[in-house]
Structure 1
Amino acid sequence: MVCFHLGEKEDMDKRSPPSSSSSFDGIGRVMGAIRLLVMVVFLGLIMMWIMMPTNIYKQIWLPKLRADTNSTYFGRQGAYLLVYTFPVLFIAVLGCFYLHIANKSNQNRMESNKGQKQKLTIWNSPMLVKGPLGIVSGTELVFLIMFIALLVWSLSTYLCISLAKITPELAAHDGKKVWEEKLGSTAVELGLVGNIWLAFLFFPVARGSSVLPLLGLTSEGSIKYHIWLGHITMTLFTAHGVCYIIYWAVTNQISEVLKWDNFQTSNIAGELALLSGLIMWVTTIPRIRRKVFELFFYTHYLYILFIIFFIFHVGIAYTGIMLPGFYLFLVDRYLRFLQSRRKVRLVSARVLPCETIELNFSKSHGLSYNPTSILFVNVPVISKLQWHPFTITSNSNLEPEKLSVVIKTEGMWSRKLYQRLSSSSSMDHLNVSVEGPYGPVSTNFLRHDTLVMVSGGSGITPFISIIRELMFVSRNFKCKTPKVVLIYAIKNSSFLTMLDLIPPVSTTTSDFSNLQLQIEAYVTREKEAKKDKANLIQVKWFKPSTTDAPISAILGPNRWLWLAAIISSSFIIFLILIGIITHYYIYPIDHNTNAIFSYPLRTFLNMLVICMCIAITASAAVSLNKKHNAREAKQIQNMQGSTSTVMSNSLTNNADIELESLPQQSLGQATNVHYGERPDLKRIISECTGSSVGVLVAGPKTLRHEVATICSSSLAKNLHFESISFTW
């Protein structure tokens, strides 16, 4: 698929010399080689997952692997590190190089390929609209079927092989009944299959990982996969635990519940892991999660205990199967921790009458992000632990020194923030920390002839960033931008102030001249326009603090190269250190018999070394980039200091701005407001012409499902559907 990626200055055809085409071809060959290598490694890994439950793997492959890797440096865990951990980390490093090349190259060209557009429509069009899984595209459905097939294959193969070995003679020899032996064997196999799903669980929540972008996914859009995997994992582990408790009860071995074996599986560690997982699982029930979000949020920190006790339960060797996903998550989580320790410079806040806030931060020039990106925000005065994601509405090209997010008052956290900022009492400073931005590596909105954006309430925020990017492209590059139709359904006229956020503060009327923008706003609960002086926007300016710094990329502009260095170097250092510990400390005691040296101690040493290696390498990478960020922060503070007097004179701390005074004339001319009616989405979307019509929707679930149903119709072959949802 050839597409033009917004957010990158790519008038390559205008500015690059003809001889540069050969360099583009060379870059294309390099990226193609990386993709091919990733595919080969991935297929090999899939083959190992498929073969794992079979007798061929257990009786031939695994013994040979253990014999070849059972050295004095790694012991039994060497086989699992080689087969399961190393390939995934290798793919992650290759992905970093691929994404770095993609970001730095000018390979994205404005070309149209109708055959490819049709192919893309088939894979991205919604296949399932209603149901427990929500809106599922063709690509997602294929992966879902593959995962279900792997689940059925693994569980059925494990059970068939293990249960076939149980005979009345074997059961009588062990002093048990046949069904009791089968129950115990089933409990074991359920745990083995659960470990497979645990291996995938942490990939969707590694926000800065290079694996998700390789699949064309974003962290915020992959949360639903984490939810699906979590339900399946906990179902298998719960069945595993229940079967074992019943087995111990009927065979008079109930004392096994409290067993902590130093040389075999630790039962009590497994029970503590299961208990932690069950508490997290219960709080993910939608009704509990929405009504008592704080309970859901805080109990999810139990994942730390869940993983620690799980590793103690199965031993460090077998942990190598689920380790790579959690390893990448640890790297990402520690980088987020380092970024969250910085206090960022909050310049101003706009308080809208629709109980919505726009926070404007200072940002470094080197920080770039694409439309629909999100930023995680923490306000310690409200909650020191809670982090909430919000859509970025600013554009890194139009606004190189500012980053803006919009917060709609919905929960307790956002309501406290709104009340604090909207109160009449003066506030000179507000401490804020952030993580991110996170978002798509690239976007391809320019491949469409028409863009239809359907939003409800605060769902307009991701579309503001898209419109601003189209404004930048239409103003700076000689290329045709798609016609934009924004359908905005709201309850009352106070939400119309959200339209004032579309043009940046520095925008002139001419910025809209090359953009075909049509806004259709539907006020559903009001019959006519109201001249309400309460519809005023408050603007609050904050004084800078010496400890504040502009938002900057934690690993700098070459973040993918630095991430590759962290992953590879930390894993290599881990192998070296654990090899030394095993060779000079563990092996002289145990001699690879696994019957003398304590399992828990070996597990603890491995976990300690992994955490140390990640912390050391990530801290070193951040420190090397910190000097550059500090210099840029000082330059920005000097520039802000010279303009602060002008800003404070033009707008006082609690300046009220009327609704009609903010939008540019061209924006007002493009806006039609309809009172007392709902949009006829089917008619509006069907009337949009063009060989490729991009239909984007953000808002309530019912609205997303309605638009998805329209786009999944067999008559809508030119519609390219995309749902933008950040709700869990």
Structure 2
Amino acid sequence: MRLNMTKIMGSMRTAHVLLVMKALLLLVFLSWLMIWVVMPTKTYRNKWSSELLSATLSTFLGSQGTWMLIFTFPILLIAVVGCLYLHLAERSRYFKRRLFNDRGEISRRLREWRKPALVKGPLGVISAVEIGFCFMFLFLVIWALYMYITGGLSEVSSGVAAEYGEKLWEAKLYDVGLQFGLTGNMCVAFLFFPVARGSSLLPLIGLTSESSIRYHVWLGHLVMALFTAHGLCYLIVWVINGRIYELVKWGSVGISNIAGEVALLCGLAMWAVSFPRFRRSMFELFFYAHYLYIPFLLFYLLHIGFSAFCLILPGVYLFLVDRFLRLLQSRRRVRLLSARLLQSEAMELNFAKAPGFSYNPTSVVFITVPSISSLQWHPFTVSSSSSLEPENLSIVIKKSGKWTHKLFEQLSQPSLQRLEVAVEGPYSPGSIDFLSYDSLIFVSGGSGITPFISIIRELIHHSATLSTKTPTILLISTFKTTADLTMLDLLLPISNATTTTNFSQLQLQVMAFVTREQQAPPPAANGDAEAKKLIYFNPDPSDAALAPVLGPNGWLWLAAVISSSFLAFLLLIGILTRYYIYPIDDNTDEVFSYTKRALLYLLVMCWCIAAMAGLAVLWNKKVNCKELRSPAPAMMPKNLWTLGGEIESEPREALLGGVKVQYGERPNLKKLLLEFGDKSSIIGVMASGPSSLRREVAAICSSTLAENLHYKSLSFTW
């Protein structure tokens, strides 16, 4: 008893420490944000900037040291301390208990703010919180653009224009172009935060890269609109003045025009293929075009110089750390144990997982199959539960595009003994609040049922082994044909370990709607022999079990990688600046080339990131070598191809015996949602599938008749 009380008190102290840490991180972030607010003002440009530069200028870091101190250091500090915060949070029993079962006033208010406030429109389903943050960011952009333009134009006069041989309106247009570029820099500073999948910044505010990818899309549109206006303003002035030669100017000091033009062309190419209609119809072109972010960033750096690049360096730095860690993880070939092919042409892939490696439901992994394409990475929701299936990780893939067609064809070959696959992830959501609801309603369309499979499997584990009271579940699934109903078989995993699990405690009701058929087909057309095919592979001894790239203490190692690589970067560029660049700048009439300086600093930065991340990965690989190379599970039979499955009929009937199938109609979602459960109960409503389905569910949950319905979308735009 005394030992339990000690643990509880220790967990509570940890929770208080976490709250203090989060408050300090919020204070640092607001201070960093305030710099962006005051930066466009005349006071900052005419007085504060020069004072800051003179106070922080040194012979070791030069002018870029000031910008790194003001714009880069605060965000990297938040990232490092955020890693420590997440590490402590994962190990705090008190914190986890609050995370899973919080029904307090704060939790209720947060649910209210996250209700859909805008359902129709090009932005999709938007909550009140998202609308508030969007308006604040737009206000910041408009404020910056207004202050930059008004402050810049006030300094443009006829005399200044005459010095450059320009008319007054041309000089003003030239200055407006500069201000568009400065505002675009501010937007780029936020552009890379949502796409750093393993960063600690998004989990700190309860987001994942997948759920926030649309913020990256919105920022991308805004950035390219500002940079396009920036380039057009300059181009118009040069053409009218007959100064076309400016297009090919690349000076050793100052702005390099050619570099800016190349960066703009790369950005325009990515922008052109990023619109939804184009992206969905020609995904491969969109995917490959986005590799242009590499020359975009390189020439963007050469265009503005490293000192100005420090304004956007935090997001880029964290993205590079994450990208290199992903590259190291993708070099491993993961052991693929089996595949289940359904009559609906859906595929379930089952990978070996290192013991003790846990992830949350609705996690996402990115996979590539080198035999199809070594460059294409596709995201899929994890359908397994690390609690129910401690040795396996599963994903479900629906045959719908060129890449999935090729994968299905390969898996359908009886002679296939091994499939080489690489995996990045899984990337887990920052919080799980499924147990905080009295009831859950899952609404899915087609393959949108996948994220709900992982939740249901997790709740099976809670109800059967932890004796935890689980919410009542209503699963509403819409399918096109009867063959698609086999997707419901995926609610149970393949592993024999689950056949002894007691499913009777899970209150699950399944309502399936088949829209393109009026009645069930004859039994012969839906025989068990054709319902599914289960394929077992013979993995290569070199194939590794899926494991986190930085080991079980990943957040601590990530904090070490970020901090050590940045300190090494500062040390090396300090030495380089003091003993190589500074003597040239200070002691001769020659100025060290801005292009050479930028390339040198970029090379040093990438080397530091690669060295520190590589050392961390190699150390963890050495320590966890036995887990990564563990032998294949004993459940694997010798035959490679079997029909049917290993799931016994009893647990399947216990879980799916109450399935109600209706043909030739769509579900009346308004009636089903509003009439489900008690009005006084808290009901979580989650939708996954086509955007029209998600918007319909969101509209119902946002109505005044649905006070107890709390909506959450599990789909993302990619």
Assess same fold via TM > 0.5: yes
Moved more, 535-544 or 585-594: 585-594
In structure 2, distance between residues paired with 1:683 and 1:381: 48
Q: How far does residue 719 in structure 1 lie from its aligned partner after superposition?
A: 1.2
* Contact 2:366 2:423 (8 Å CA) reproduced: yes
The answer to whether residue 668 in structure 2 is matched with residue 677 in structure 1 is no
The corresponding residue for 1:460 is 449
For residue 89 of structure 2, what is the aligned residue in structure 1?
102
Please, which moves more after superposition, 695-704 or 284-293?
284-293
Residue 434 of structure 2 is matched in structure 1 by: 445
- Do the aligned partners of 1:95 and 1:211 also contact (CA within 8 Å) in 2? yes
State the match for 1:93 in structure 2.
Answer: 80
CA distance in 2 between counterparts of 1:103 and 1:474 reads 22
How far did residue 677 of structure 1 move?
Answer: 1.5
| Conserved 8 A contact 1:263-1:595 | no
Partner of 1:570: 565
The one-letter amino acid paired with 2:566 is F
1:480 shift after superposition: 1.3
| In 1, Cα distance between equivalents of 2:669 and 2:558 | 44
**SS of corresponding position for 1:205:** coil
2:128 maps to 1:133 = no
Aligned to 1:9: none
CA, structure 1 residues 592+509, in 2 after alignment: closer, same or farther (shift >3 Å)? farther
For residues 609-624 of structure 1, the aligned pairs below 5 Å read 609-624=604-619
Deviates more, 1:121-130 or 1:303-312: 121-130
Q: Aligned in 2, Cα 1:660/1:23: closer, same or farther, shift over 3 Å?
A: closer
* Counterpart Cα distance in 1 of 2:79 and 2:201: 6
Correspondence for 1:158? 148
TM-fit CA distance, 1:68: 1.4
**Gaps (5+ residues) in structure 1?**
1-13
The alpha-carbon distance between structure 1 residues 594 and 114, as it changes in their structure 2 partners (threshold 3 A), is farther
Q: Is 1:507 equivalent to 2:502 in the alignment?
A: no
1:198 aligns with 2:188: yes
Tell me, yes or no, if structure 1 residue 122 matches structure 2 residue 112: yes
Match of 1:39 in 2: 26
Mapped contact 1:360–1:404 kept (Cα < 8 A): yes
Deviates more, 1:666-675 or 1:489-498: 666-675
Report whether the alignment pairs 1:247 with 2:242: no
* Cα 1:526/1:54, change in 2 over 3 Å: same
Partners of 1:115 and 1:104 in 2: how far apart? Answer: 25
CA distance in 2, matches of 1:500, 1:596: 70
Q: Which amino acid aligns with 1:687?
A: E
- Write out per-residue CA displacement over residues 374-421 of structure 1, whole angstroms, 9 at most, x where no aligned residue: 111110001111010111111111111111100001110001101121
Q: Give the percent of matched residue pairs that are identical in Structure 1 and Structure 2.
A: 51
Secondary structure of 1:203's counterpart equals: coil
What per-residue deviation string (whole Å, max 9, x for no partner) do you get for residues 96-115 of structure 1?
01100011111222655353
Corresponding residue for residue 412 of structure 2? 422
Q: Distance in 1 between matches of 2:520 and 2:649?
A: 17
TM-superposition CA deviations, 1:661-695 (whole Å, max 9, x none): 59611123221111112111111111122421100
Q: Whole-Å Cα distance in 2 between the matches of residues 593 and 77 of structure 1?
A: 21
Task: Note the C-alpha offset of 1:442.
Answer: 2.6
Displacement after TM superposition at 1:555 (Å): 0.4
Judged with a 3 Å threshold, the aligned counterparts in structure 2 of structure 1 residues 347 and 16 are, in CA distance, closer, same or farther, namely farther
The 1:499/1:419 distance shift into structure 2, 3 A limit, reads same
* Kept in 1: contact 2:501–2:651 (CA 8 A): no
Structural mapping, 1:244-283, within 5 Å: 244-283=234-273
Structure 1 residues 508-545: Cα deviation after superposition (integer angstroms, max 9, x where no partner): 36531111110011111112222224642011111121
- Give distance in 1, aligned partners of 2:407 and 2:201: 35
Instruction: From 11, 29, 36, give the equivalent of 1:49.
Output: 36
Query: Equivalent of 2:479, from 473, 490, 502?
Result: 490
How far apart, in 1, do the equivalents of 2:148 and 2:327 lie?
40
SS of residue paired to 1:549: coil
Q: Which amino acid aligns with 1:44?
A: S
Residue 19 of structure 1 aligns to a residue whose secondary structure is helix
AA at the equivalent of 2:643: A
Change (3 A) 1:592 1:657: farther
Q: Secondary structure at the match of 1:131?
A: coil
1:293-442 alignment, distance < 5 Å: 293-423=283-413, 425-442=414-431
Question: Deviation at 1:467?
Answer: 0.4
- State the shift of 1:351 in Å: 0.7
Say whether the 8 Å CA contact 1:454–1:698 is kept in structure 2: yes
Deviation of the 1:658 alpha carbon? 11
Q: Is this contact kept in 2: 1:121–1:719, CA < 8 A?
A: no
CA distance in structure 2 between the aligned counterparts of 1:241 and 1:271, rounded to whole angstroms: 8
- Which piece of structure 1 moves more, 114-123 or 80-89? 114-123
TM-superposed deviation, 1:118: 2.9
Q: Is the 8 A contact 1:536 1:659 kept in 2?
A: no
In the alignment, is the contact (CA less than 8 A) between 2:503 and 2:651 conserved in 1? no
Number of residue-to-residue matches in the alignment: 707
TM-score by length of 1: 0.94
d(CA) in 2 for partners of 1:331, 1:657 = 42
CA RMSD of aligned residues (A): 1.8
Q: Does 1:543 align with 2:535?
A: no
Q: Does 1:523 align with 2:514?
A: yes
Call closer, same or farther: CA 1:112–1:564 in 2, change over 3 Å: closer
Deviation at 1:178, TM superposition (A): 1.1
Q: Please list the CA deviations of residues 291-347 of structure 1 after superposition, one character each: whole Å capped at 9, or x if unmatched.
A: 111111111101000000000000000000001001000000000000000111011
For 1:590, the equivalent position in structure 2 comes to 585
